[in-house]
A and B are shown apart, each in its own frame.
Chain A
Amino acid sequence: MDASVEKDMITRSEPLRVINSSPGAISKAKARTKRSWRQIRTESVFKRTLTIMGLVMIILVLGILLTLIVQSLPSIKSLGIKYLWSKVWDPVQDIYGAWPFLLGTLLSSFLALIISIPFSVSIAIFLGEYHPKGWLPNFLKNAVELIAAIPSVIFGFWGLAVLVPMVRILEIHLGVEPIGVGIFSSSLILSIMIIPYAASLGRSMITMVPSHLKEAAYGLGATRWEVIRSVVLPYTRSGLFAGILLSLGRALGETMAVTMVIGNTSLIPKNIFAPGNTMASVIANEFTEADKPVYVSALIELGLVLFLVTVVINIIGKKIIDRFTND
C-alpha cells in the first residue's frame, strides 16, 4: 500500500477514535478485540484438532503394524523365516509351521474367487451394459447389496446347517470321504460373500465406458456380444481386475464364516474336500488357548502376514481404480 494512502486512512479514522473514546466505548472495544483474539485462537485450535484427527488415522495403522511386529518378534527370532513353509503345526510338541494354514488360505480364497468371478462379472455386465435402469436391475442391485450386508457369522451358521449337508451328499456321489466341512464348503460360502465387491466395482467401471466407442462398434455392424467382448471388456479390464483383487483381499481375511465350516484341523489338506484351517481361522480358534509365549507369537506372526498381504492387495487395487477414474 502506498504510504500517502496509509497516512490518509489514519487521519480519516482519527475522528472516529475521538468519538468512541468515551469510557464505555473503550471497554466495549477492548471486549471486541478480546473476543476476536479468542475466536482466532479457537479457530487455530480447531484447525489443529482437525489435523490431529487426520494424524490419528495414520497413527492407528502404524500402531497396528508396530504392535504386530513387536508381538511376533519372539517367534520370528526363534523360528526364523522357514516358519512359513514348515509343514507341521503341533503346539504341544513345540513344533510350529505355518504351511498348512498358508495353503488352506490360498486354496479356499482362490477357489472362492474362481467360483465367484463368472457371477460377479455377469452382474456387472447386466447392470452396467444390458439394463442400467428399471425395476429388475434395481432389484438385483439391492439383492447384491443385501448379500454384502449379511453378517459373516450368519453366513457361517447357514453354511453349517444347510450347505455342509449338501456338500456331504455331493461327496458321497463323488466317492470322497463324506465329512462335509472342509475347504470346499468354505470356498462356496466365501464365493457368495465376495460377489458384491467385484460386482459393484465392475458395474461402475462398465458404466464409465464412453458411449462413442460402443456406438462406433455398433456402427461397424458389431453384435451386442462383439461390442462387449471387443470394446467394453478390454476398456474395463484393469477396473475388473481391481475389483477381483479387492474381493480376494476380503476372502483372505474373512474369519467367522470360514472358521465355522472349514473343519479346523492343522494337517495339510490332501484335496479340496479335506478339512483344514486358514490363517484367520487358526487365530480365531487358538489365540485364547495359547499358553506358551512362542505359541502366541507364532499366531500373531500369521496375523502380521495376513495384514501385510491385505495391505499390499488393497493398495494395488486402489491405485488401479484411481488411475482408471482419473483417465
Chain B
Amino acid sequence: MEIRSVKYRLGKSYGFQALVYILAFACVIPLLAILFYIIKAGVTKINWHFLVNVPKPVGETGGGIANALLGSILIIIVAAIIAIPIGIMAGIYLAENRKGRLAYWCRLSTDILQGVPSIVIGIVAYFWLVKPLGGFSGFSGSVALAIMMLPIVVRSTEETLKLLPDSLKEAALALGMPFHRVIFKVIVPVGFSGILSGVMLSIARITGETAPLLFTAFGNPYLSYKMTKPMQSLPLLIFNYATSPYNDWHDLAWGASLILLVWVLFLNIFTKIITRKWKVQL
C-alpha cells in the first residue's frame, strides 16, 4: 500500500465525516416537508362541521368525514378484539417454548407474516370472507387488519416475556400456583407495559393501512355502523378522494390526512413513553 501523508489521511477522514453528517440529516428534510405540508393543507379544513358530517356530493362545498372516522374506529376495535388475544397467547407460547420444532415453525411463520405485502392479505381476506359472505363488509376489513396486527403483537409479547427473569416464574410455581395462573397473575402483569406497547404499535400500523381494505371494507359514502355492510375508513377516504379530480374532495382528503397523521403520531409517542417508563422500571 502506498504511504500517504498524515494530513491527507486526516483530511479524507474529516471529509468523509462531513459527508455522513450531511447525508444522515438530509433524510430529515423530506420528513419535515411532509409534516409541514400536511399540517398547512389540513389545518384550515378541520372544524366541528368537518368531524360530524358525511361527505357532500361533488359540486357542493363543505361536508365532513364522520363516516370515515366511525368506520375506522369500528374496524380497528374489531380487529384488535380478534388479534390481541390470539397474538398474546401465541407470544406466550413462543416465550415458554424457546426450542422445539413447532415453536421454530411458528416463529418462522410470524416472520413471514410480518413481511407479507398488505395487498396480498387483502386478496386473501377477499376469498376467505367477502366471497363466501356475498359482499364487501367492515368485518372482513377487520379480519384483514387483524392478520396484519398479529405478527407485531406476537413478536413484542415474545421479546418482552423473554427478558423477564426465570426466577420470577419459578418462585410462583414453587408456591404451588398452577401454570395458567402463573402466566396471568405473574408473567403478564410484569410484562404488561411491553405487551401494551406492542399492541399500541400494531394499532398505529394498521390505522394507516389502505391496501387490505380496498377489497374488504371497500368504502361507503354514507354513515354506517353495520359491520356486515361496506364501510368507509380514513385511509380509504384519503386514497379515493386524493386520486379524484375534484378540489372539494382534495380538501376533504387533506383534512382527513391531518387527522390520520395526528392519530398515528399520537399512538407512536404514547408507545414510546410506555417503553421508556418500562425500561426504567426494569
Contact = CB atoms under 8 A, between A and B. Distances in A.
A119 B26 contact: yes
Q: Size class of A's contact patch? A: 35 or more
Contact of B24 (A40, A122, A152, A284): A122
Nearest to A157: B242
A224 interface: yes
A123 B127 contact: no
A240 to B, nearest CB: 14
A125 B254 CA distance: 36
A57 B238 contact: no
B71 to A, nearest CB: 15
Given A151-B235, A162-B33, A162-B37, A307 B120 contact: yes
Contact of B120 (A68, A149, A154, A156): A68
Given A53-B93, A307-B117, A315-B108, A154 B24 contact: no
Contacts of B118: 253, 255
A97 B194 CA distance: 48
A186 B19 CA distance: 26
B12 interface: yes
Q: Which of B128, B210, B265 neighbours the largest number of chain A CB atoms within 10 Å of its CB?
A: B210
A39 B209 CA distance: 43
B185 to A, nearest CB: 13
Given A39-B178, A53-B93, A311 B239 contact: no
Contacts of A71: 123, 127
Interface string A280-309: 100110011000000000001001001100
Interface of A: 39-40, 42-43, 46-47, 49-51, 53-58, 60-61, 63-64, 67-68, 71, 118-119, 122-123, 125-127, 130, 140, 142-147, 149-158, 160-162, 192, 195, 199, 223-226, 228, 246, 249, 252-256, 260, 280, 283-284, 287-288, 300, 303, 306-307, 310-311, 313-315, 318
Interface of B: 9-10, 12-13, 15-17, 19-21, 23-28, 30-31, 33-34, 37-38, 41, 86, 89-90, 92-94, 96-97, 102-103, 105-106, 108-121, 123-124, 126-128, 147, 150-151, 154, 178-180, 183, 204, 207-211, 214-215, 218, 235, 238-239, 242-243, 253-254, 257, 260-261, 264-265, 268, 272
11 contacts: A60-B150, A63-B124, A64-B116, A68-B120, A71-B123, A118-B23, A150-B261, A152-B210, A153-B242, A253-B118, A315-B108
